[in-house]
Structure 1
Amino acid sequence: MEDGFDTHELDEFSKSLLDLAEQKLPKESKKYLKKEANKLKTKMKKKAKEVGIPDKGNTNFYNKFKAGKVYNYQGEMSVRAFNSSPIAHLLENGHKQIGHKPDKKDTGKFVKGYAYTEKAYQDFKESYYSDTEDWIDKMLKEKGL
């Protein structure tokens, strides 16, 4: 209950409309989800630059941001936005600092992660909700859900 209004029924109604759109208009739903994943991918790249991840080395970190294919996950349509760079998980979560070859000695230090994905997700969440509502309204008007 927020500001004296109970929005629980409206949330359920929006969910049922989204499920109906997935069943009756699967092509439009997939297209919409892919478009939103691309928006999240762009926000992730922008947030990585904002937090100060340098673009150096031969990993091409900034060229490896991708939006995946739409797939079914636990009965619902899903899509991922991710970075396929071999060091992306290290920059996101942090890692132990290890010395160079030949002995690769553990220095005992921990390099803190940037958490750019989580920060981008928090920025993206509100725009996703408003975009979804607009898309549902559009499908109601144009496609007659």
Structure 2
Amino acid sequence: MARDGIDLSELDEFTDRLIQSSKEAKKTQRRFLQQQGNKLKRKTKAQARVSGIKTKTGNYMKGIKRGKVWSSRNGAQAVRVYSNAPHAHLIEEGHDQVVNPGKGKGNGRGVRPGKGIGRTVGHVEGREVFLKAGEAFEPEYERACEEAIDEMISKI
């Protein structure tokens, strides 16, 4: 409508497109983060194989998962890759190597009551699988973010 020589119809159309695109952007962001989380999960499993982690049962590798996309208090969305294996923190951060004192005879099995749980004979260094995989994935993630943002802007 042209009143006093100013036509605001194009501005109204642009604001409508912005509102519509913001609704679509939430879905797009969620899908994007899920895809990137899956890529990071694959990189993490590959890093675990490269690190030489021995697999007796495969529970460590099966336990590496992608979490849900969640929003923080300041509105930023995030996704995490984690391991739900009970021994994952020992592989990631390292641990003391302990030998049980035994029951007198035998080859050191069992714990003598009241004598503690064993003695430390060394330290096993952490493999830092998640840290290394995250550092290796960071440049790829940044490029993907830039491409996704450019794509969302071009749709507007």
Please indicate, yes or no, whether the TM-score normalized by the shorter chain is above 0.5.
Answer: yes
Q: TM-score, length-normalised on structure 2? A: 0.71
- 1:23, distance to aligned residue in structure 2 (A): 7.1
Are the structure 2 counterparts of residues 102 and 115 from structure 1 closer, same or farther at C-alpha, using a change threshold of 3 Å? same
Hey, what does 2:129 align to over in structure 1? Answer: 116
- Give the corresponding residue for 1:79: 79
Q: Match of 1:35?
A: 35
Report if aligned partners of 1:59, 1:85 keep a CA contact under 8 Å in 2: no
How many angstroms apart in 2 are the aligned matches of 1:38 and 1:78? 13
1:18 aligns to what? Answer: none
Question: Aligned residues, how many?
Answer: 122
Q: Which stretches in structure 1 are left out of the alignment for 5+ residues?
A: 1-20
Whether 1:132 aligns to 2:145 is: yes
SS state at 1:89 partner: helix
SS at match of 1:137: helix
- 1:7 corresponding residue in structure 2: none
Distance 2:147 2:139 in 1: 13
* Paired position in structure 2 for 1:102: 111
1:23 and 1:98 map into 2 onto residues whose CA distance is: 56
Summarize the alignment of residues 5-16 of structure 1 with structure 2, pairs less than 5 Å apart.
none
Task: Give the Å deviation of 1:102.
Answer: 2.0
> Which structure ranks higher in relative contact order (CA pairs < 8 Å, sequence separation ≥ 6)?
1
3-state SS of the aligned residue for 2:124?
Answer: strand
Shift of 1:22: 7.3
Query: What CA distance in whole angstroms lies between the structure 2 residues aligned with 1:89 and 1:106?
Result: 21
Distance 1:81 1:128 in 2: 14
RMSD of aligned residue pairs (Cα, Å): 1.9
**Aligned match of 1:6:** none
Query: Relative to 1, partners in 2 of residues 1:29 and 1:95: Cα closer, same or farther, differing over 3 Å?
Result: same
Query: What is aligned with 2:88?
Result: 88
Could you tell me which amino acid in structure 2 is paired with residue 113 of structure 1?
G
For 1:31, give the aligned amino acid.
R
